[in-house]
Structure 1
């Protein structure tokens, strides 16, 4: 997907997530998401924060407090923002759905995979359905599969071939894993919620490796920021 079609898909996904969030009960807002260590509320806060780039000074200070750990820094900033009222988080997501502002050294390709994955982080554990576009998911999967440090182990997909069954998309070489491209995207980002949709001799091997390579916020970090 090119830049314009990617931004259009990002806007649609943000609006769809905002719509879903308006339906949630207080219990659902507090429910665990697929994103390790985060509640649905925390994921919503992360989505709301993305189009609101912080000043460089703020980011540097947050990075120092996190001792240079990128994932810890994101966790702390997100949990702090999650203290906003849920109605405000929804409004931020909806009002900034078309925003093209980017946080830090990132690009629209990263934003595309981030919004698709985090939408599923909310929807799947709540038993909700959040529609995705196969072409956008395939583009997101390509981006996510190529990302290494500081997010994931750069070699986590070595020896694996991912092949989508619902769109013409594949990545890598080696033991094969087949399934819908959304299930593959979630697997690449360390999520096993759609494991039942995957087949192939590389599936169990990949699940073990990919889930171990994904760092979850430590409990003491969450307690310190709640």
Structure 2
């Protein structure tokens, strides 16, 4: 099932600026916050001791210092908004419903680091992460796969379960999918995603309303436009 969405509804589902979960995603761990704080401090020092020499202590210097000094606060909003824009730049969108075709767990290399062992030898340590690979599809033959870090609740997902998501396209008929959102498994109320693209409360509302409308109009050939 693929139902086109109006741009207004898509804008509600895919916000322009970062939501709370998106801000948390880009805030990262304590080390990430500390790194952004150090960048802010360095920027303030540069403004205070270098730019003030050339520009003087004026409003421009103050604004540049304030912007850089608050980097640790606005950086997550900026990066989340850029990622949202990668979806919002597509002109058309739709609500897609299919099913889980297959799922399996893999171990992926996510990084390496160098350390010294007890003998004083330099060794390379591989950091691996267990990830869920989820394949979904529908009766038209469309299939796609999403790989995300493995979470405890993922063990509840089974092949054949209903799966829902947003799809984005540059074609009005949605004949070619350019991008997909996170995947929702409604029976278990589980989201499968690496990044929380959509407003999940709004998505659940749209899901309920579209499925009810589809049930009421199942004898009509053309799907409704929401």
TM-score (norm. length: structure 2)? 0.22
Structure number having the greater strand percentage = 2
Structure with greater Cα Rg: 2
